Structure 1
């Protein structure tokens, strides 16, 4: 793996590990100030999204680190692109139309997927 992959994927994994953990353990009231959309989504779905984010973060780091199923890393990154595409749709259909962070996360995930499949990473 090259240094660029580890920097970008590491930062992305840290973000999703943090955000996913919050969604899994915090109450709706404690999530609301950071995530205005939580009132429009059933709490089990919020918890499931958090679990997916934690698993995706793990998928960015563990496969390249261990060499086991390394194709999982670009798949996890592409999963985050899809997740953020859905997040943008949720934001745009509600009152909260701020999607700058979603765009940045989707772009970062796309770069991570590209780096994970590039010739410098093998």
Structure 2
């Protein structure tokens, strides 16, 4: 799954909730997507619990801000790690960089079109 899916309804809900702080928060979340994705990739081979926590945080943050496909990849990594299926987690993690970059680009484009 390398298609980037953004849920605009989730974005609009967060925009309504956060008001003036939405733009800055979305920019911060995009940076967090990068940080958390990097942390998952850096820890997946040597600390499964830490990698799972980072994947969980990435999954939740991405879902809140409409990055549906990124959230799905993070969920697959988290569930695979939690069920001790490292091979499946590593396979899913190969999509992480492109999902983070693609989601960030689409979210930035969406924000700029507002």
Superposition TM-score tier, normalisation by shorter sequence = 0.3 to 0.5
Scaled by the length of structure 2, the TM-score of the pair is 0.48
* Structure of larger gyration radius: 1
Scaled by the length of structure 1, the TM-score of the pair is 0.45
